[in-house]
Structure 1
Amino acid sequence: MSASDSGDVPVKATVEELEKGEGNVTPAGSLVDQRLTRRVLWKLDTRILPILALLFLCSFLDRTNVGNARLYDLERDLGMTGFQYDQGLAVFYATYILSEIPSNLILKKLTPQVWLPCLTVLWGLVAMCLGFVHNFAGFVGVRALLGLTEGGLLPGMVLYLSSIYTRGELALRIGIFYTAASLSGAFGGLLARGLSEIGTRGGLNRWRWIFVIEGLFTVLVGIATYFVLPNGASTARFLTTEEREFAVARLHISSDGNREKESNEKFAWSEVARGVFSAQTWFTACAYFGILSGLYSFGLFLPTIITGLGYTANEAQLWSVIPYAAASVVTVCTAFLSDRFRVRGIVMLCSLPLAIVGYAVIANTQDNKVKYGMTFLMATGLYSSVPPVLGWLSNNSAGHYKRATTSALQLMIANCGGFVAVFIYPRTQGPAYREGHTIVLGLLCAGWLLILCNVLYCWKINRDKANGKYDKYRGYGDDRDPTFKFVL
């Protein structure tokens, strides 16, 4: 039996051998032993993705649990009036946005194993502090700190995954951990319902216990993450020496040698500028802005919307679980199809209309059963569109610091949707919230058009590269190189 038949192919190829097609990896990117590929991916998927999913679940839980706490008299106990609750939500997004690009630029220096758990522990402690505030000023101050500490997580995780998986594998992996966002809505409702049974034990009201317990859970998760999250495939202790070398080699081949250049890349402001002035960044970021405007408002106000349908607070917590659960399944399926066919924008052109239909109907119907049914379309359309848009820009950005900038800037722009979300669903609109739904509907329609524009833009650049218009960039080792083809 040959080495390739046994599945024990040693990967000792140097960079020069890989470029020439020598060593144990074929030059076209087809690996000698697919069983070794499956083994490496299985280990990466089962050791890394659950950790990231748990971190992201904690992140979404700690930013949206205020919607659950609101049902248990948070505003009355803190003496909030008028738009003060909305202002408290908005300040979170202000500091969240400001922290994203700086966090991504220092991720490589501090390493993911240190930085991501550090962020988690810090925001967990801040989330716990929300359970001890006594007035509006305290609420605003702690929410500002929460945004500052939590803002670097998602762009950091996307950047981290892009250094471990190939371009054709990224959307599914983002989809898997992003389902934690939809599951956090389901889990958050169930957990809030359970924690409400604590009552006023320890001198804390029910809404305070929601913040304290969920924040403590986040701190424990962050501490555990430090001990189990590797910095990358090359240092993963759960891989054998052979598997680590193989994982690095396959990344090198899939990027036409760009990974080697990125590993030695030094920080340069010119790369930051390339990310800031990229047309793709603005097309996808503005489309994502519309998606997050809907997604954040959905997460923050779904319990309130359901109580407006005639349910009690406790019933609303439970009824909010089902749309999120359905969205998690559709999100993974959409991400799988996106990777399977190696398309991003085209998938979104099909998934976003689900949410568009949901918002169009819920804004123009009085039937409570129909309204609740539309929350399923809203959730599935919104959540299933996120993995493709996150993976798309990362796929089409080469050069570590450009990709770090585009990933963070995309989220920085998109998260401005949080400001929209917190002000378009005031209590005075309830229970129909027609104006709020109509605003999100308009943003989603605009987002669909921007996605179409980016698909056409990427197609044009690929055509220009094929026609030799980018030959002057040959050998640059970044996304300007004519050998680097954009994903549509």
Structure 2
Amino acid sequence: MTSAIAKYDAKPSEGEVADESEKPELASSTLFIDPAAEKRLIRKLDLMLSPMMVLTFLVAYLDRSNIGNAAIAGMNDDLNLTGNRLNVAVTLFYVTYIAFEVPASILLKKLRPSRLIPFFIIGWSCVIIGAAFIHNYASLIATRLLLGIFESGLFPCLTLYLSTFYQPIEQARRISYLFVASALSGAFGGLLAYGLTNLHGARGLSGWRWLFLVEGIISMVVGIMTIFFLPDNFETAWWLREDEKALMRIRNENAALYQGNSTNAETLDRSEVRLAFKDPKVWVSSMCQFCANTCSFGFSTFLPTIIKGFGYSSVRTQLLTVPVYIWASIVYISVAFASDHLKRRAVFMVPMALITAVGYSMMLGVSMTSTAVLYFATFVTATGIYCVVGLNVTWIINSNAGYFKRATAIGLQQTIGNSAGIMAGQIYRISSSDGRYVIGHAVSLSMITTAAAGYFLMFVLLRRLNVKREKMSIDERVREIDSGKKGDRHPDFRYTL
């Protein structure tokens, strides 16, 4: 182990710190890690953490969005969901969903990931299983509200959890796995819906009830598994050897050294929480997330309805959703790998947002008789949706240092971003549509183009801060450090662009 570590003057990664050529003497205590040993460590982290994270997020999105598959499989008729009742049910999920995100992310460390995350999963699994036996609109509303409560903290907690294992430049790829899981849940959900709705009448249950029941049981199994396999942190990870834990400590200490803070602080730092609320870039990122999530939530929930509006049967529609989600998964994982490799975010996010805008424009402008072209447009639309949503989450994690500032920033971003679900649930009105869904596509088009402009603004703001810090003299940097600047305000911190 000792041969893998040596003191050196580090050249840090973007998203952490600046070049060391003019760095104060503080940097001399940085420890060098053998790249081969670190590579083996990261491979092991991926092997043990990624499957759990992907499976958890997959069942979360599966249970959240299956209402769209159930709607075209007979639920609307059985529960008398006339008028805008389905839209209201979709919307109310996000009312409770957004209410608990910030508290959950801040309290994650105190309540322990190995307890809080399984609690969320098992809680919503019980709700989905119960939803298989509801018989009226009021019961549907109750299940959606409860589902929102239990799913609320999952995503900010998972992203924050991953940030305690991975360095900033390693995070886009790992968080991309979560969004690939959300995309694959659509494909998996479509296949499940196709198979389970064919059980219509078995043991007296409708096809959509079988859908809720089986998916709820799957989630329950995943929740029970996480109790035994999810460690609170790398120190308690049973699958890491002592020398690997030592490497993890060094990685964290090197990052914390330049950021002027401890990334593993146990005591809630209220000053960091306040800094997150005062930071303009957190609000810009949050508003961009609102715009992108309007598209993401509307698309993932109502894709079966949109495709059915092209003139396909309900059964065929369930299958036609699958290739769209698979395509979205392939594109996103490729973009996330490239983003991490090049250490760039905006250069991918702006073009991806504009490609999605083209897809919405096609669905608005192409004649309803051109069914094949309209179906192709769903692929174009899906191309950028998961990319911009996922990379923006990574970007805000990279742009905020200090554990509790980062926790507050991701919680605030997700709270504002996920409030888009309230609007997304209302813009695709089944009862008043001829199949084109003009309002839904038009609102989504305006939102994704606004998001593209916001990503560019974020790029300009962060580049300006980097340039300003690059031009600082040694004396200016020392004064900033002596004044107590830490985290991403530290003069040696550099933002990923």
TM interval, short-chain normalised? over 0.9
Indicate the larger mover: 238-247 or 344-353: 344-353
8 Å contact 1:182–1:327 — kept in the other structure?
Answer: yes
Q: Does 1:371 align with 2:374?
A: yes
TM-superposition CA deviations, 1:365-416 (whole Å, max 9, x none): 1121111101111112101222210110011111111111110110111112
**Shift of residue 471, structure 1, vs aligned partner:** 5.7
How far 1:260 moved relative to its partner?
Answer: 6.0
Matched position secondary structure for 2:494: coil
Contact 2:261/2:402 (8 A) holds in 1: no
- Kept after mapping to 1: 8 A contact 2:190/2:322: yes
Alignment-mate amino acid for residue 306 of structure 2: I
Contact 2:106 2:404 in 1 (8 A): yes
CA shift digits 1:199-243 (9 cap, x unpaired): 222322111111111011101101101111122223222111101
Cα distance in 2 for partners of 1:10, 1:473 equals 30
**What's 2:209 paired with?**
208
Q: Structure 1 residue 278 and structure 2 residue 279: aligned?
A: yes
Q: CA deviation at 1:422?
A: 1.2
Inter-CA distance 19–47: structure 2 relative to 1 (3 Å threshold): farther
Q: Deviations over 1:101-159 (max 9, x none)?
A: 11111101011111111111111111111111111111111100100110100000110
Distance (whole Å) between structure 1 residues aligned to residue 6 and residue 220 of structure 2: 39
Alpha-carbon deviations, 1:52-82, whole Å to 9, x = none?
1111001100010000000122122112221
Residue 19 of structure 1 and its aligned partner are, at CA, apart by 6.0
Mapped partners of 1:252, 1:269: distance in 2: 22
Following superposition, which runs of at least 4 residues in structure 1 exceed 3 angstroms of deviation?
9-13, 18-23, 254-260, 467-473
Instruction: Quote the residue 1:386 is aligned against.
Output: 389
Higher RCO, 1 or 2 (CA under 8 Å, sep at least 6)?
2
Aligned to 2:227: 226
1:413 counterpart = 2:402: no
Indicate which of 471, 478, 483 corresponds to 2:487. 478
The answer as to 2:457 corresponding to 1:456 is no
The one-letter code matched in structure 2 to 1:481 is H
Q: In structure 1, what is the equivalent of residue 359 of structure 2?
A: 358
Q: RMSD over aligned Cα, in angstroms?
A: 2.0
Q: Which runs of 5+ in 2 are unaligned?
A: 9-24
2:434 is aligned with 1:434: no
Distance in 1 between residues matched to 2:7 and 2:2, nearest whole Å: 14
- The whole-number CA distance in structure 2 between the counterparts of 1:12 and 1:108 is 31
SS of alignment partner, residue 489 of structure 2: coil
Q: Which runs of structure 2 are paired with 1:247-396 in the superposition (5 Å)?
A: 247-258=248-259, 261-366=262-367, 367-396=370-399
Task: Tell me, in whole angstroms, the C-alpha distance in 2 between the residues paired with 1:308 and 1:398.
Answer: 46
Q: How far 1:87 sits from its partner (Å)?
A: 0.8
CA contact (8 A) 1:92 1:147 kept: yes
Q: Give the drift of 1:463.
A: 2.0
Contact 1:265 1:400 in 2 (8 A): no
| Whole-angstrom distance in 2 between the partners of 1:388 and 1:331 | 9
TM-score using structure 2 length: 0.91
Partner of 2:48: 47
State the shift of 1:197 in Å: 2.1
User: How far apart in 1 are the matches of 2:421 and 2:27?
Assistant: 49
Q: Deviations over 1:334-377 (max 9, x none)?
A: 11111111112222012111101111111111121111101111
More deviation, 204-213/459-468: 459-468
Measure the CA separation in 2 of the matches of 1:22 and 1:417: 46
Contact 1:11-1:246 within 8 A present in 2 as well: no
One-letter identity of the residue aligned with 1:375: T
> Which of 489, 493, 496 is matched with 1:487 structurally?
496
Superposed counterparts of 1:134-145, under 5 Å: 134-145=135-146
- Alignment match, 2:451: 447
Three-state SS of the structure 1 residue aligned to 2:365 is coil
CA distance in 2, matches of 1:447, 1:350: 11
Where does residue 91 of structure 1 map in the other structure?
92
Aligned match of 2:22: none
Alignment gaps of 5+ in structure 1: none
8 Å CA contact 1:100–1:411 kept in 2: the answer is yes
Amino acid paired to 1:197: N
> Is residue 11–residue 245 contact of structure 1 (8 Å, CA) maintained in 2?
no
Mean alpha-carbon deviation: is it higher for 430-439 or for 367-376?
430-439
Relative distance call for 1:103 and 1:448 in structure 2 (3 A) is same
Give the letter aligned to residue 484 of structure 1: F
Deviates more, 1:126-135 or 1:473-482: 473-482
Instruction: For 2:2 and 2:50, locate their aligned partners in 1 and report how far apart those are by CA, in whole Å.
Output: 30
Counterpart Cα distance in 2 of 1:230 and 1:3: 26
8 Å contact from structure 2 (residues 356, 381) kept in 1: yes
Q: Which amino acid aligns with 1:356?
A: A
For 2:385, give the aligned amino acid.
Answer: L
Give the counterpart letter for 1:444 in structure 2.
I
Instruction: State how 1:10-89 maps to structure 2 within 5 Å.
Output: 21=28, 25-26=31-32, 31=33, 33-89=34-90
Task: Render the CA deviation track for 1:418-443: whole Å, top value 9, x for unaligned.
Answer: 11211111122231112211110011
Q: After superposing the two structures, state which structure 1 stretch, 173-182 or 197-206, moved more.
A: 197-206
Could you tell me how far 1:266 is from its partner in structure 2?
2.2
SS of the aligned residue for 1:81 comes to coil
Q: Is the 8 A contact 1:465 1:471 kept in 2?
A: no
Deviation at 1:180, TM superposition (A): 0.4
Question: 2-side partners of 1:189 and 1:55: how far apart?
Answer: 18
AA paired with 1:285?
S
Paired letter, 1:485 = R
| Deviation of the 1:252 alpha carbon | 2.1
Q: 1:473: Cα distance to partner?
A: 3.7
Question: Residue 11 of structure 2 corresponds to which residue in structure 1?
Answer: none
* 3-state secondary structure, aligned to 1:432: coil
Q: What's the offset of the Cα at 1:20?
A: 6.0
Conservation of the 8 A alpha-carbon contact between 2:131 and 2:143: yes
- For residues 267-325 of structure 1, what are the alpha-carbon distances to aligned partners after superposition, in whole Å with 9 as ceiling and x for unaligned? 13332221122111111111111111111111111111111112111100001000100
SS at 2:122's partner residue? Answer: helix
TM-score of the aligned structures, taking structure 1 as reference length: 0.93
1:79-228 mapped onto 2 (5 Å cutoff): 79-228=80-229
